[in-house]
Amino acid sequence: MPQVPNLASKDSPKPILKWAGGKARLLSQLALLMPEDVRPGFAGRLVEPFVGGAAMFLWLRPSGALLADSNDELINLYEVVRRHPDELETALDFYQSLAHDSDVYYAQRADDPQDPVKRAARLIYLNRNCFNGLYRLNRSGKFNVPFGRYRSKPKLYDRENLALVSDALGAAELRVAPFEETLAQVEPGDFVYLDPPYYPISQTSSFTGYTGAGFGHADQVRLRDAILETHRRTSGAARIMLSNSNAPGLIELYEPYPEILHVHSVTAMRAVGAKSSSRGLVEEVAITNYTT
């Protein structure tokens, strides 16, 4: 049995957002399923069509990366962290000075700043002060997570880590794009990591509100087809890994292609979720287009 690698490093940048489904706690298991050359300092290019909290990117710190997401607020945040970290710190200091109070929180949630730096700072403030760190939009595209009551005021950022993340993002191309558009840019030799909204385990456990449009079964089918097309177009020379839930409906999508797609079980510790039943140890899957 291979040893789970120790991924801890005080010099490694850490995600600056709490993110439902974030991979920081799962990296040690995913690392066992990655190609041998895909390790911190990866000399190739990482492509992430669902960058989310960017835990994979910040761990690998590749020489090049294409980081994309359909969530424009998220990509704006990373653009600001990369280009204007000092201005972002000033804006975050303002939000940090606000009282940890529900009325204050809902006033900021209702705000709609147009300045990119203030938008980025507001996103971090909402993420740190909302219930369980969730990111959820209603059908109108408005953030609608309620206030989270914490024993002490949440700390919005760590100065040293923000500088590390800003430096790491210097190697990345950032895009607001649907996953098909991002996968169309994949080239042989790339390592592609996909972390989409998860297929629901049951009808009552669905949470796909990262964008106003949601992410349903038809989107999961489109994603499967786009992965197969990327594998075909690159003749398997682009290494692809997908994370998802161990839902029967999800497994049924990938089982018919065993000669291309390989399903691996992993166990994740989930600390962010809408219900206590969704937190703790849960079984998930990693699907690869290469053997491990």
CA distance 186 to 46: 9
Tell me, what's the pLDDT at 282? 82
> What pLDDT is recorded for position 20?
77
pLDDT of 280 reads: 64
Per-residue model confidence (pLDDT) at position 270? 59
Structure tokens at 57: 């990117």
What's residue 74's pLDDT? 96
CA distances from 220 to 15, 19, 22, 36, 145 (A): 26, 20, 19, 28, 25
Angle at 137 between CA 133 and CA 140, to 5 degrees: 160
Angle formed by the axes of helices 116-129 and 85-97, to 10°?
50
Q: What is the pTM of this model?
A: 0.90
Q: What is the pLDDT of residue 79?
A: 98
Q: Which CATH class is domain 76-161?
A: mainly alpha
| 25 contacts 56 by C-beta, under 8 angstroms | no
What is the full per-residue pLDDT of the chain (292 aa) written as tens digits?
A: 344 454 546 678 999 998 877 788 889 999 999 999 999 999 999 999 999 999 999 999 999 999 999 999 999 999 999 999 999 999 999 999 999 999 999 999 999 999 999 999 999 999 999 998 888 888 888 899 999 999 999 999 999 999 999 999 999 999 999 999 999 999 999 999 999 999 998 654 544 455 556 799 999 999 999 999 999 999 999 999 999 999 999 999 999 999 999 999 998 765 544 454 455 678 899 999 999 8
Calpha distance 135→144 (Å, rounded):
8
What's the CA gap between 170 and 164, in Å, rounded? Answer: 10
What CATH architecture does domain 27-71+170-288 belong to? 3-Layer(aba) Sandwich (3.40)
Looking at residue 39, its pLDDT comes to 96
Laid out side by side, the sheet with 191-194 consists of 172-176, 64-69, 45-48, 191-194, 239-245, 280-288, 262-270
**Exposed (0-12), middle (13-18) or buried (19+): which is 46, by Cβ within 10 Å?**
buried
Residue 4 confidence (pLDDT): 45
- pLDDT for the residue numbered 128: 96
The residue extents of the domains of the chain are 27-71+170-288, 76-161
Tell me, what DSSP letter sits at residue 245?
A: E
Rg, C-alpha atoms of the chain: 19
Q: Which of 269, 247, 274 is nearest to 287 (CA)?
A: 247
